[in-house]
């Protein structure tokens, strides 16, 4: 594959999916906090070889399309699956991709490894489908058994089904049959379609119970990162101090190169730790005068941005302030709210609490404040 090869992904989402239950079509129902279709969209967008992602949707679903994030394009589908695919192909003619990968919106558990295998195979074969062999014995019959099928020649088809763009557009232009499978149309036009190993996890949501099955698969595929942060700042002259982004009137201030927000610093270091990206000092040197007195939200926002760039999202933050003064309780909710605002999280993902050291150590003597934090990150 050279750098100029263009691969488009088409997600077919124009069906109604009534067997899956629910008040709205299955592709728009929530699965672990986001629309089911969003899971496969994200998998395509993460692959650097995919140059374009389009969603073929039902005309009644325009408002649902607004929920989707990322660089995607929408195309209104037709009355049948093959009609919807044909509309998607016609839309793609403007960008002229070299290959197109056609995927069912009802398959949210497509793994990145399977996608890579499909791309490698279509570059070699021009037409390829992922499929699974049949393990059970298959009988033919009605009320009584009449015969047996050779399971060695039978496969369970999956998506994405992948084709040379010129091959599949030509096949659709000649098609005289309705099909529920793109490979059927390509094969009917006289082309060979290669088979590669699919994945047992690449399930299709069909029945209501399939949502729970998909959630188990997706949770099993998620990567979890944990990080710890610890910081200390001593008291000095001042009439206020800043903790977790909230300014509190005080008889003393906190001494530090930036604004000395010990709580925000510990949270920032916890995130860097979870990402294995060092600490604040490695990204914002204390010897650099531009950070003198800087608002610590600059550091925190950098850590949050790096989290997204590395393919993770923050699940929750737990911050403990260790001090005799000031009293944290009256400000804890405001601190949680401010941290959530800076990090783009919900307030219930942020915990801010306080403890003392029972008059022991430097915090017990009222010489300063310490803070410890834990950050939990999960893959997006």
Q: Judge whether 120 lies within some domain.
A: yes
User: Could you tell me if 17 and 55 lie in one domain?
Assistant: yes
Residue 380 has pLDDT above 80, yes or no: no
Token pair for 62: 């325009």
- Final residue belonging to a domain, choices 188, 221, 254: 221
**Whether pLDDT at 117 is above 80:** yes
| Whether residues 59 and 194 fall in one domain | yes
236 within domain boundaries: yes
Structure tokens at 370: 């310490």
279 and 169 in a single domain? The answer is no
pLDDT at 341: 97
Which residues contact residue 332 at a Cβ distance below 8 angstroms, ignoring those fewer than 6 apart?
A: 352, 353, 354
* Residues 80 and 134 grouped into a single domain: yes
Is the domain of 246 the same as that of 202? no
Q: What is the pLDDT, as a whole number, of residue 22?
A: 87
Asked whether 362 and 368 are in contact (CB, 8 A), the reply is yes
Distance from C-alpha of 28 to C-alpha of 20, rounded to nearest angstrom:
11
The contacts of residue 30 (CB under 8 Å, 6+ apart) are 36
Count CA atoms closer than 13 A to 20's CA, side-chain side: 23
Q: Distance from CA of residue 98 to its chain's centroid? A: 27
Q: What is the largest CA-CA distance in the chain?
A: 93
**Interior angle at CA 48, CA 282 and CA 88, nearest 5:** 145
Domain with residue 343: its CATH number is 3.30.1330.50
2 in any annotated domain? no
Number of structural domains, the chain?
Answer: 2
Is 206 within a domain? yes
pLDDT digits (tens, 9 = 90+) for 151-184: 888 999 999 999 999 999 999 998 877 787 899 9
Q: What is the pLDDT of residue 71?
A: 84
Contact present, 319 and 340 (Cβ < 8 Å): no
CATH number of the domain encompassing residue 217: 3.90.550.10
pTM exceeds cut of 0.85: no
The mean pLDDT value of the chain amounts to: 94
Average pLDDT of the residues in 69-88: 91
Same domain, yes or no, for 326 and 196?
A: no
Q: Are residues 93 and 189 in the same domain?
A: yes
Same domain flag for 304 and 324: yes
Residues 207 and 261 in one domain: no
Residues 260 and 336 in one domain: yes
Domain for residue 364, yes or no?
yes
- 3-class DSSP state for residue 56? strand
Judge whether residue 1 has pLDDT over 80. Answer: no
Q: Are residues 229 and 198 in the same domain?
A: no
Span 344-362, pLDDT tens digits: 999 999 999 999 999 999 9
Confidence of residue 20 (pLDDT cuts 50, 70, 90): confident
Domain stop point among 185, 205, 221: 221
Looking at residue 17, what is its pLDDT? 77
3-class DSSP state for residue 23? coil
Domain that holds residue 160: 7-221
Tell me, yes or no, whether 23 lies in a domain. yes
Among 186, 221, 256, the domain boundary falls at 221
Same domain, 183 and 257: no
Q: Write the pLDDT tens digit of every residue in 259-299.
A: 999 999 999 999 999 999 999 999 999 889 899 989 999 99
Q: Report which of 185, 222, 186, 225 is spatially closest to residue 201, judged by C-alpha positions.
A: 222
200-257 per-position pLDDT tens digit: 999 999 999 999 999 999 888 778 999 999 999 999 999 999 999 999 999 999 999 8
């Amino acid at each position: 594959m050279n750098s100029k090869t263009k691969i488009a992904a088409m997600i077919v989402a124009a069906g109604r999916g009534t067997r899956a239950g629910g008040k709205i079509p299955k592709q728009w129902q929530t699965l672990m906090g986001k629309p089911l279709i969003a899971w496969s969209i994200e998998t395509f967008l993460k692959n650097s070889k995919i140059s374009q992602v389009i969603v073929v949707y039902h005309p009644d679903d325009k408002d649902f399309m607004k929920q989707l994030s990322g660089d995607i394009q929408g195309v209104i589908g037709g009355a049948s699956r093959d009609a919807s695919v044909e509309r998607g192909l016609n839309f793609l003619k403007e960008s002229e991709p070299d290959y197109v990968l056609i995927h069912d919106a009802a398959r949210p558990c497509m793994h990145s490894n399977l996608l890579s295998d499909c791309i490698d195979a279509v570059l070699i074969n021009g037409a390829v489908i992922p499929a699974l062999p049949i393990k059970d014995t298959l009988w033919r019959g009605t009320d009584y058994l009449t015969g047996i099928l050779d399971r060695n020649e039978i496969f369970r088809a999956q998506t994405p089904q992948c084709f040379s763009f010129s091959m599949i557009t030509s096949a659709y232009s000649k098609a005289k049959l309705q099909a529920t499978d793109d490979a059927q149309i390509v094969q009917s036009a006289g082309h060979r379609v290669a088979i590669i190993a699919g994945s047992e996890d690449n399930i299709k949501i069909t029945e209501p119970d399939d949502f729970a099955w998909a959630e188990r698969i997706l949770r099993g595929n998620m990567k979890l990162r944990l990080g710890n942060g610890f910081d200390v700042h001593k008291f000095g002259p001042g009439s206020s101090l800043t903790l977790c982004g909230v300014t509190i009137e005080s008889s003393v201030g906190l001494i530090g190169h930036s604004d000395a927000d010990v709580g925000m610093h510990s949270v920032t270091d916890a995130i860097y730790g979870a990402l294995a990206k060092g600490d604040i000092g490695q990204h914002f040197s204390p010897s650099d005068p531009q950070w003198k007195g800087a608002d610590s939200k600059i550091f925190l926002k950098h850590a949050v941005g790096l989290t997204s760039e590395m393919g993770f999202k923050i699940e929750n933050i737990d911050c403990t302030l260790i001090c005799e003064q000031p009293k944290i309780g009256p400000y804890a909710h405001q601190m949680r709210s401010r941290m959530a605002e800076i990090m783009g999280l919900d307030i219930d993902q942020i915990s801010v609490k306080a403890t003392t050291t029972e008059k022991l150590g430097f915090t017990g003597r009222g010489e300063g404040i310490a803070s410890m934090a834990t950050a939990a990150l999960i893959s997006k």
